[in-house]
Amino acid sequence: MARAFSEIAFTAGVRAFQTRMGSRQNYAALDHTDERGDTLGASEARFIAARDGFYQASVGENGWPYVQFRGGPAGFLRVLDQRTIAYADFRGNVQYISAGNIAADGRVALILINYAKRSRLKIWGRATLVDEADDPALIARLEDGNYRARVERAVLISVEAFDWNCPQHITPRFSEAEIGQRLQAQHAEIAQLQQQLAQRERDQPVPAKHGETLPLALGNGPLALVVSGIRQLTPRVRAYELRAPDGVDLPKVGAGAHLDVPLRLPGRGQETRRYSISSNPARRDAFEIAVLREDAGSGGSLAIHASWQLGLQLFCQLPGNDFAVHDEQRPAVLIAGGIGITPIKAMALQLQARKNPFALHYAGRSASEMAYRDRLERQFGAQLRTYAGDRGQRLDVPGVFAAAPTDALFYVCGPARLLDTARDAAATHGIAADRLRFERFHVPARPDDRPVQVVLRGSGRTLAVAAGQSILDAVQAAGIAAAAGCRSGNCGSCAVKVLAGTPDHRDSALSDRQRDSAGLMCICVSRAKSETLTLDL
């Protein structure tokens, strides 16, 4: 039994030339082999699944061959079974040469190459074109929801033969992702050296304007960033652009992502604060965060406004995301109040890029205090509605919910009152809880809050927490290490076990099981119904 490859490729003319050149005997064994070579195995399937492109030859009616490169996301050429492969035919330059050739003569030859490992696979087959109307299930199987290209049809290929080619003359080439993997060790070493340098410089302040002193670097996280730009968005909101010191791409993030940034508070040392990444998620060169100066806050925003200058180096934790936008085509309703626009802005940009239907509602106390307002009006046009309090404009949250598409998902970020109103509106209109997603950026003290005594069992300390003070701030002010993240009850990083007393839960991170069975509470926002709480700290 001969290999299928030999029957197709070794024509009489080819065999004659092999004989002339003295190589015929090298390939004679292929005419008598146990392996037919027309059924794809596991190694071929793995190789095909890893490729993001291949070269395809087809035959025109005039006998001329035509070679075209077909590209897409890795694995877009699918192995359907051992004798069948297929790919989604993305819209290109509309010459339709390959499609026309296949429609007339289905014979094709494919070459798939792994340049990094210098290996290649050749496949011969008979191709047919399949329109969506004829087989919608096949089209759906070949589509990639993360690759935004129009699929015009499917190309279904019945495998006739395949052959692994030798690596001679393949020049090694590496994709951006492959280079990134190879450089990971070097980047890690550079980051470690930068941290060591920063550690030496951290306690060597340098002169700054108006006689104060500023650190050269802050933080001890794995992500090195430098303040590369500062813009005043409103009288109280300042945007900070953050880039990698060596100019490499930053970690990929999705809309709703956040960054925990370091800062130094007078008399308390270094702490972190969490800010949403407001820049376009498609950007890899820089992150942007917007910081509202809160004069009556915990001091973090004041410290950033006062001390962050161009060139300041920050060692941050890697970005996280507790407020991710959905990855399907369902419509979205985005609602932002005040500085809550920061994650919502990124969501709108991501939805717009993938052509998801959405509406954005943005409310603020005054037009001058609404960060990014002018830019959003230019970017989103009729998809944006703004409501400035000083102009007598009011956001009708129940009305927004009533007018929304029946399958819409709702994303809300802003003050507690806005979130409470959104919850009530969702309940009134029968909107399921999993369709309402929210993130709050600030949890104000309540007028009826009272002081509470907190006993820290592990530390042997008892703290008096003032009515306007969070338990987390009191613990950290006492010099006791306590984990912290968003400081708004969104992430659960500060959750600790309650050993005695009755907590007053005000977070949105913990489940009922975590509160009741595990006995946890988020000390950044939650307080106590009892006069005393005993915590496992």
Strands 532-535 and 452-456: parallel
Least confident of 235-249, 330-344, 356-370, 514-528: 514-528
Q: pLDDT at position 210, please?
A: 47
Distance CA 91, CA 267 (A): 62
Q: pLDDT at position 434, please?
A: 87
Once rounded to an integer, what is the mean pLDDT over residues 444-468?
86
Which of 216 and 127 is assigned the larger pLDDT?
127
Please check whether the domain covering 332-440 is classified as CATH 3.40.50.80.
Answer: yes
Distance CA 156, CA 80 (A): 9
Q: pLDDT at position 508, please?
A: 76
Q: What is the pLDDT of residues 250-295, one digit of tens each?
A: 999 999 999 999 998 877 678 888 899 999 999 999 999 999 998 8
Least confident of 184-198, 229-243, 403-417: 184-198
Residue ranges matching CATH 3.10.20.30 in the chain: 452-535
Q: pLDDT at position 1, please?
A: 61
H-assigned helices in 354-447: 373-380, 397-403, 416-428
Q: What is the pLDDT of residues 192-207, one digit of tens each?
A: 776 666 665 554 444 4
Q: What is the pLDDT of residues 116-126, one digit of tens each?
A: 888 999 999 99
Which of 221 and 347 is assigned the larger pLDDT?
347
Q: Is the pLDDT of residue 320 over 70?
A: yes
Q: pLDDT at position 442, please?
A: 63
Helix (H) or strand (E) holding 462: strand 461-465
pLDDT level of residue 467 (50, 70, 90 thresholds): confident
Q: pLDDT at position 35, please?
A: 82
Distance CA 416, CA 172 (A): 56
Least confident of 287-301, 416-430, 439-453, 467-481: 439-453
Q: Are 499 and 528 in contact (CB under 8 A)?
A: no
> Which residue is listed with tokens 């087809």?
58
Q: Are 195 and 219 in contact (CB under 8 A)?
A: no
> Which string of b and e fits 249-267 if b means at least 16 CB within 10 Å?
ebeebbbbbbbbbbbbbee
Distance CA 470, CA 525 (A): 6
Tell me phi and psi for residue 438, to 5 degrees.
-145, 160
CATH class entry, domain 180-316: mainly beta
Angle between helices 341-353 and 373-380 (to 10 degrees): 20
Once rounded to an integer, what is the mean pLDDT over residues 31-60?
91
Distance CA 490, CA 496 (A): 15
Q: pLDDT at position 424, please?
A: 94
Residue 155's nearest CA partner among 61, 80, 50 is 80
Q: What is the dihedral of CA 320, 324, 327, 333, to 10 degrees?
A: -160
Q: Which amino acid is at 471?
A: I
Strands 313-316 and 237-243: unpaired
Burial of 1 (0-12, 13-18, 19+ CB in 10 A): exposed
Q: Within a 10 A sphere around the Cβ of 502, how many other Cβ atoms?
A: 13
Burial of 56 (0-12, 13-18, 19+ CB in 10 A): buried
Q: pLDDT at position 3, please?
A: 86
Q: pLDDT at position 177, please?
A: 77
H-assigned helices in 272-415: 300-307, 341-353, 373-380, 397-403
Residue ranges matching CATH 2.40.30.10 in the chain: 180-316
Q: What is the mean pLDDT of the chain?
A: 89
> Which string of b and e fits 295-315 if b means at least 16 CB within 10 Å?
eeebbbbbbbbbbbeeebbbb
Q: Are 356 and 332 in contact (CB under 8 A)?
A: yes
Q: pLDDT at position 485, please?
A: 72
Least confident of 132-141, 209-218, 381-390: 209-218
Q: Is the pLDDT of residue 89 over 60?
A: yes
> Which residue is listed with tokens 């407020």?
323
Q: Is the pLDDT of residue 208 over 50?
A: no
Distance CA 32, CA 10 (A): 14
Q: Are 448 and 240 in contact (CB under 8 A)?
A: no
This prediction's pTM = 0.56
Q: What percent of the chain clears pLDDT 90, i.e. is strictly above it? A: 62
Q: pLDDT at position 36, please?
A: 87
Q: pLDDT at position 360, please?
A: 98
Token pair of 461, please? 């300390």
pLDDT level of residue 209 (50, 70, 90 thresholds): very low
**Superfamily of the domain at 38-165:** Electron Transport, Fmn-binding Protein; Chain A (2.30.110.10)
Strands 213-214 and 532-535: unpaired
Token pair of 299, please? 């001091």
Q: What percent of the chain clears pLDDT 70, i.e. is strictly above it? A: 95
Please check whether the domain covering 452-535 is classified as CATH 3.10.20.30.
Answer: yes
Once rounded to an integer, what is the mean pLDDT over residues 344-367?
96
